[in-house]
Amino acid sequence: MKHHTKLLLLGLTVPAFFLTGCTTNTESRVTNPRQPGPAVGNAVGTAVGAVGSNVVGAVVGGVEGATAATKSTFTNERRVVRVWKTETTADGRTIQVPVEIEVDEHGRPIEKK
């Protein structure tokens, strides 16, 4: 992974820890959960935490997908398959001649234009 990609992912994940909420069990609460203020605050905090974490997850997933797509565009990897073709020489001999065919990642021949 390139240095700038690591910095971008770090820059996206660190704020995620501060923007998303976490839930705790009710035994460790300081406020009374039966009162309207703490109940509404808890509900809003849960919703904001869930939405925030989903948004950050979508952004990070999008960045990783874009990085993979860009990386595959600039790879110069070529796949070549060698097949043998039988030919007859002018003096009547039969020989095997190698023919190299460039193929895509699925093994289909790439046609020359």
Answer yes or no: are the C-beta atoms of 30 and 62 closer than 8 Å.
Answer: no
> Quick check: 79 and 57 in contact, CB under 8 A?
no
DSSP string, 56-87: HHHHHHHHHHHHHHHHHHS----EEEEEEEEE
Nearest 5 degrees, angle CA 52-CA 15-CA 36?
Answer: 45
pTM (2 d.p.): 0.33
pLDDT in tens, 16-55: 666 655 555 555 666 666 677 777 777 777 777 777 778 7
Contacts of 110 (CB under 8 A, 6+ apart): 102, 103, 104
Q: pLDDT by residue (tens digit) across 52-110?
A: 778 778 888 888 888 877 776 666 667 888 989 999 989 999 999 999 988 887 888 88
Q: For residue 112, what are the β-bridge partners? A: none
